[in-house]
Amino acid sequence: MSRRLVIVGASLAGLRAAEGARKAGFDGEVTLIGAEQHLPYDRPPLSKKYLTGDGAADFYRAEADLRAELDLRLSTTATSLHPDEHVVTTSEGNISYDALVIATGAAARSLPGVADSSRVLTLRTLDDADRLRAHIRPGARVVVVGGGFIGAEIASSAQQIGAQATIVEAARVPLVRAVGEMVGETLSQLHARNGVRLLTETSVLDCIETAFVQEIHLSSGEVLPADVVVIGVGAAPATEWLRGSGVELDPIDGGVVCDAFLRTSVPDVYAAGDVAHWPNGLLDVTMRLENWTNAAEQAGRAGANAADPENAVAYETVPYFWSEWYGQRIQFVGTPMADRVEFLEGEREEDRFVALYTTGDRVVGAATLNQPRKIMKLRRLISERGGPAAAQTIIDDGQSAATGATP
Amino acid sequence: MVTLKLEVDRGRCTGIGICESFAPDRFEVDDDGTLLVRGGELVGDAEREEIERAVDGCPAAALRLVEGVS
Ligand SMILES: Cc1cc2nc3c(=O)[nH]c(=O)nc-3n(C[C@H](O)[C@H](O)[C@H](O)COP(=O)(O)OP(=O)(O)OC[C@H]3O[C@@H](n4cnc5c(N)ncnc54)[C@H](O)[C@@H]3O)c2cc1C
Ligand code: SF4
């Protein structure tokens, strides 16, 4: 009898899991279940060129093409998992599986105490982006709560359209968890330089809806009027549907706990993408990443492992993400959890830097602003467990000491 | 003979450079974010796997491998 692989979550990770299974020779049925009504589409543009109106939605694959390869069930939400029976229950009925990949990603967190309103929005999906786009017009007052990457990108896009953006951040320095304090502080200076107000150590006490505006009451006593408020306080793994299933979830954020092969705690069930915690052998750290590159690579591996468990391969990666604010390119590789962080290549210039994260004599991370030529060489160096001297060579002349690439 | 050719859609490429981290001998992003491709468009057997990873890894879907007959 032919085997059935069920993938829950029809976005980047879900699609890549299906492709990974096929590449590994899986010839059974693949069922891809997605809660959204849309075909799988690309999320990063939603806060960038889609928001500024410079591009249409980016669907990964044409519908006919996709349906020819797999059984696609859109507008279908998984509601519970029954590992003993090998059955997933969905809004449209039960589906049995031989192997299953959890790729339900993450959902935007809301701000406790702030009621939903047509002027208080979050940004995670295409529908969210459409709602937000309708509000961000030239001259609109946009308040972004949260100075993380997505919040910063929304502020930057709003500014580009001619709206007036303000960012409200509770911490003293934004982005500390993503890039550490020093780089977080340096990057956040980009806001003021581009005409966006960044309020740090400030929290939202209340958000009151009046006839015309949303009034945001801040801990500083200030009241900000806003035509639209965007809550950008991060995303939480979408695992409500797994509660009580026996799949082990992280006690803090509820993400799915996996081993190095992306297997969950129950048989034949794997996970990948924004939802998954796993021990990353390359950096010897257990982590959950929320970035495009990981979702794509990790899910390809999870799909292949689910399809062919006897030949399962451990997944490891040097994390990578990029962001764009005010037309400037920010890139990060590795992990910010390091003993030392220093800015290299002389003084940190206003719109250009390389920062290196080292632990012992190993380079574990690098952050760059507008240095696209150096970052991938540093990614390779980190994967080869290189040290600061080799990194310095890359930074000095832009060449990869580790691979000897010639221009 | 069936050959594999690498195609780059310059309109889509944003110079993010993932391709370079997989196949540094073939791809390099320069200081202003422009992608340089070395070694021509034909893809040999030995490099096929790393170039496939670059194609899959490109967040802008700017790379394609196409089969041709020569
Ligand atoms: C606005 C924005 C900008 C971003 N910018 C960048 C960037 O510049 N660089 C970068 O590297 N990364 C960026 N990211 C992150 C990147 O998009 C994510 O890492 C990636 O989308 C993760 O893919 P995923 O498939 O794991 O999860 P998701 O994309 O979250 O997909 C999960 C899917 O599962 C569905 N689902 C959830 N629960 C269920 C259920 N119970 N049943 C059925 N379906 C379900 C959801 O509806 C969703 O479609 C950005 C993300 C956002 C939101
Ligand atoms: S990964 Fe894609 S977008 Fe990035 S440089 Fe290579 S081809 Fe261009």
Q: Is the Cβ pair B56, A300 closer than 8 Å? A: yes
Report residues whose beta carbon is within 6 angstroms of any ligand 1 atom: A 8-14, 33-36, 43-44, 46-47, 77-78, 103-106, 123-124, 150, 238, 241, 273-275, 290-293, 295, 321-323
- Per-residue model confidence (pLDDT) at position A200: 97
The model's pTM: 0.94
A76-111 per-position pLDDT tens digit: 999 999 999 999 999 999 999 999 999 999 999 999
Q: Is A297 on the interface with B (CB under 8 A)?
A: yes
Ligand 2 touching residue B33 (CB < 6 A): no
Nearest CB to B59; choose among A293, A372, A375:
A293
SS3 A203: coil
A125-137 per-position pLDDT tens digit: 999 999 999 999 9
Q: For the domain made up of A110-231, give the CATH fold.
A: FAD/NAD(P)-binding domain (3.50.50)
From chain A, the residues in CB contact with B24 under 8 A are 376-377, 380, 400, 403, 405
Q: Which residues lie below 8 Å from residue A221, measured CB to CB, with a gap of 6+?
A: none
The model's confidence at residue A396, banded by pLDDT at 50, 70 and 90, is confident
Q: What is the largest CA-CA distance in chain B?
A: 38
The model's confidence at residue A407, banded by pLDDT at 50, 70 and 90, is very low
| A327-397: in CATH 3.30.390.30 | yes
The number of domains in chain B is 1
**Most confident among A114-118, A226-230, B20-24, B41-45 (mean pLDDT):** A226-230
- What are the phi and psi torsion angles at A315 (to 5°)? -100, 130
Running DSSP on this structure, what letter comes out for residue A147?
A: -
The rounded mean pLDDT for chain A is 93
- Per-residue model confidence (pLDDT) at position A406: 39
Distance (Å) from CA A15 to ligand 1 centroid: 12
Amino acid at A148: G
Whether A4-107+236-311 shares its CATH topology with A110-231 is answered: yes
- Per-residue model confidence (pLDDT) at position A348: 64
**CA pair distance A365, A390, nearest whole angstrom:** 13
**CA pair distance A132, A136, nearest whole angstrom:** 6
Please report, for the domain that includes residue B23, its CATH number: 3.30.70.20
- Res. A405: pLDDT tops 80: no
Ligand 2 touching residue B62 (CB < 6 A): yes
Matching CATH number, A4-107+236-311, of 3.20.20.450, 3.20.20.70, 3.50.50.60, 3.40.50.1820? 3.50.50.60
Domain ranges in chain A are 4-107+236-311, 110-231, 327-397
Q: Burial code of A96-119, b = ≥16 C-beta within 10 A, e = fewer?
A: ebbbbbbbbbbbbeebeebeeeeb
ipTM given for this complex: 0.86
A155-183 per-position pLDDT tens digit: 999 999 999 999 999 999 999 999 999 99
Q: Is B30 on the interface with A (CB under 8 A)?
A: yes
A28-83 per-position pLDDT tens digit: 999 999 999 999 999 999 999 999 998 899 999 999 999 999 999 999 999 999 99
B35-60 per-position pLDDT tens digit: 999 988 899 988 999 999 999 999 99
**CA pair distance A43, A50, nearest whole angstrom:** 9
Q: Domain residues for B50?
A: 2-69
Query: How many residues does the structure list for chain B?
Result: 70
C-alpha of A219 from chain center: 29
Helices (H), A352-400: 372-383, 388-397
